[in-house]
Chains A and B, each alone.
Chain A
């Protein structure tokens, strides 16, 4: 090999790794994100696309073919009173349970924000239902609220009160579900609110105290606006959870009595996996998806402006 040959070969050899490294550098973030993107694609985007496709077809798991029926499944669903009933019940559930959850959580968090031993113990106790199996909770509360032999009615009758048909009265059954769901989710909301409250600069409270602000006014004028980002985050989560509530309802009431607690997701499950109408089940899933997207947009329009991330 001559020196000249070596000279001419050198730049070529040097360029190749340079170009490769540049490409690699550009691709590195994407490569890191790739496993997660693949995971999301396989378990989220492909199922969404698949649901959309199935919602336009007639299929019951057993048929080898899936004929295209256009918007027929949507038309059939929207003409069924059960769907409107499920939507009404879900909206009532959300409208009552979301403010209840957030209001209670903020009040409790305001008291538990102090770093004392009882406060820490109470935080742990409140968080426990959040990490307890929903099915176990639902089974236990089914017994608590049983009309005959239930703990709640045993307590009421021992005090001379009447037996209350908790799970048979349409309104009471819904109230019981809201109460159980609130009890289960409260701990999570409280912990998030405590984190939000701890980020509020203490000088603001000192200034309010110097100005002679009463406790309620300080809470309303200082605490509430400054934890708005937390409230907004919890609101988004709570609304989605309220519209997707399933396990508690399925175990405790199965949508009963007579459809009084039938939520959209319970209906979706029933249509898809009890009545085996996958087309209509998928159409209902798409409608629920659109409803949640719509609600998220409305929330961001209305509340987004009131959320300030700087104190």
Chain B
């Protein structure tokens, strides 16, 4: 009798285990790059998704910045430790798409009503060689931030409206001359994203996104770099600290030590927190043309994930790009809306009504342009830091540096084909 009872107990335990295994949640391991306010907003979106999809768990890991993700993903793939879904910067996912690491999301997106809701720019950023590899999540353009209090103290009775390089330099000079004694600079040395924006506003590019032609040594690119470099080593209106460490430029702006900072709209939430009412946001200057690059990232799904996990991951990706989620993300961070219906959501409408600065990136959308994403871009962006430092610190002539850099980029493009 006792033995029969034991058998029954064992059988029940086995049945219970089997049942719980059958009902086990599908886990999607997701690598991302968001800390602070962005991280909290992402957690909210994930909590909403899990509540709406009880069978799916999103296991997140904050891996670092975009560069860190690219490095760690490369190392994780041969070790069979890659995640199921990952945030990838819009100019650097081509490397993974080329190697067959990313799942082709074209059939998923074609069958998803989300596709019709996405803005054209948002649909375009995920396409590489005619196929869709990432679904946009956090997209941005550079904007011009300035500290209103510094401007007033520098004697600007009316809001300065710098449109051209010359205007921007004149404002920066005035601020540095008047407040330089307090350690305040007119402008922060432009970071990589802002530099790309300034090159575009000079009617040029680094690599043509359509033809793939390398334009690093094009006359307008050279002129743009000459002007950007002169801010630091010639006119001394930007601190050299921001050249050797771009984060120091941002830090100085949030600390109220810099009047103007050109940077991603995705920094808006953090800047509002740091500067409050002193923060003003304006469009990027239009030196020769009004044109800004589209930045940010999208979510890709790994081809190595199991089919069931891929489907669960796509559900999450689609949910994260939905109007409801995107509205929460937009309001919390300042990244651009990617969904046409985002602005209709109450949380987005409130953000637009109460935070005027958040609208600037949206207003720039008509002049926003996608950027190239072949594998050589990863090389170009990594190597570009040294080139910029040499030019901005006056250690090497701009034209010579860019001619050399262009030749090496062309060689690398050939090698990586």
Contact = CB atoms under 8 A, between A and B. Distances in A.
A170 to B, nearest CB: 7
B407 interface: no
A61 B74 contact: yes
Nearest to B78: A61
A165 B239 CA distance: 10
Interface residues of A, number: 25
Contacts of B379: 275
A62 B96 contact: yes
Give the dominant DSSP class at B's interface: helix
A274 B382 contact: yes
B74 A255 contact: no
A142 B245 contact: yes
A165 B240 contact: yes
Interface size bracket, B side: 20 to 34
B101 A258 contact: no
B244 A257 contact: yes
B389 A256 contact: yes
A148 B95 CA distance: 38
Interface in A44-81: 60-63
Interface string B372-394: 00000011001101110110010
A270 interface: yes
A147 interface: yes
A149 B382 contact: no
Contacts of B167: none
Contact of A259 (B67, B75, B255, B386): B386
A91 to B, nearest CB: 20
A147 B241 contact: yes
A255 B387 CA distance: 12
A219 interface: no
A273 B75 contact: yes
B157 interface: no
Contacts of B99: 60, 62-63
Given A62-B99, A253-B244, A149 B71 contact: no
Contacts of B385: 254, 256
A226 interface: no
Interface in B6-40: none
A257 B382 contact: no
A183 interface: no
A167 B244 contact: yes
Contact of A258 (B96, B241, B248, B393): B393
A257 B77 contact: no
Given A62-B101, A273-B71, A275-B379, A146 B241 contact: yes
Contacts of B240: 147, 165, 168
Contacts of B389: 256-258
A273 to B, nearest CB: 5
A232 interface: no
B247 to A, nearest CB: 10
A276 interface: yes
A148 B257 contact: yes
B396 interface: yes
User: Which 5 residue pairs are nearest across A and B when measured between Cβ atoms?
Assistant: A258-B390, A62-B99, A61-B74, A168-B240, A258-B389
10 contacts: A62-B95, A62-B96, A147-B240, A148-B241, A149-B252, A168-B244, A257-B244, A273-B74, A275-B382, A275-B383
